[in-house]
Structure 1
Amino acid sequence: MELHGYFRSSASYRVRIGLNLKGLQYDYTPVNLLQGEQRGDTYRKLNPQGLVPALVDGRTVLTQSLAILEWLDEQYPEPPLLPGDPLKRAKVRALAYSVACDIQPVQNLRVLQYLQSEYAISDKQKIHWIQHWIHEGFTALEKQLDPAPFAGGDRPGLFECCLIPQIYSAQRFGMDISEYPAIHRIMNACSDIAAFVDARPENQPDSTL
């Protein structure tokens, strides 16, 4: 398998965690978002949306991080990313989607670039925008998280694949995660797990490019 991504992309980060949790080997091909490589003809042939990540497995090309993670869970069921119980599975999906579909998209690079180019927002306004939407989302998540170590029980899964990259983004823009005790607890629980450590942006080959 080959993963095309960017070291700071939340969606790429999610898939790196998922691949690591599954113990799967993959080659990593950087796509420099700041230099616009995702909009080039070569990458567009792989992913017409011009977004990362893209996972290539033989002749199959998969896009959209949550679709990739669920495909991985179906193809390589152990260890699972989702609980076996249908209701618990739905609840974990809801938590994961709240990050991947509600919080993260409004702080996506292309959204921020559009705000800056079309509305001339300042860097200070950009940071306020990011912090506002993360705070809104994290405040809601706090009310939904159970006291178990992880959202799905005793092992990290789909939700943690989404949450940890969002925490990274929050911290990058100056937010104090200790203000969100349940999220902070999950962050600490994941901090020493190799699958999460190896997936960190600073541990990717393109972080120094």
Structure 2
Amino acid sequence: MSSIHVFPENDPDTLVRASRDPAEIAAILREVGVRFEAWEASFSFTPSAPAEEILAAYREPIEKLCREGGYPSVDVARLAPDPNDPAWPAKARAAREKFLEEHTHGEDEVRFFVHGAGVFYLRLAGQVLAVRCARGDLLSVPAGTRHWFDMGTQPDFSAIRFFGTPEGWVASFTGDAIARRFPDADALTRGAPW
């Protein structure tokens, strides 16, 4: 389920606003220049489904958004538990750590979730907005926005990523440890203490 939790940037213990209503989430994010939409996620995939199959299933909305936003490339980012891989816990931790540091991008970060969920933390207008994106959610984080992403300790998601450059995901890390001070994705999903 999608949700938003809004905290003052300097006070991770104070919840200013929260909602699970997609229309309200979109309105809150629109106030700070972020696009959030609930799209139809009409196809289901196994964790091992080839990226080509996912991209083919959503070809029409992908092509439309690529035209609108001028995105020359797309791919599929995903992580799913593999009980047959003894190295899975270490791989999951390493993948999670990569995105947990606050960073920015020189282009918009656009994601459409087709399976599972993850939390984007956006640092805007003196606030941290924790946006839990789930299956069917489209989020577009404007270029230059300070943010981080948490997939939780048991990552299980697939998202179509849209890029304005052929290089794909390129981050500039801020060096600020802010991400360590805020409730992580697991805490937000549990709802405690919020």
Which category of TM-score, normalised to the shorter sequence, fits these structures?
A: 0.3 to 0.5
The structure with the larger Rg is 1
**Structure (1 or 2) with the greater strand fraction:** 2
Q: Name the structure with the higher helix share.
A: 1
TM-score (norm 1): 0.31
TM-score normalised by L of structure 2? 0.32
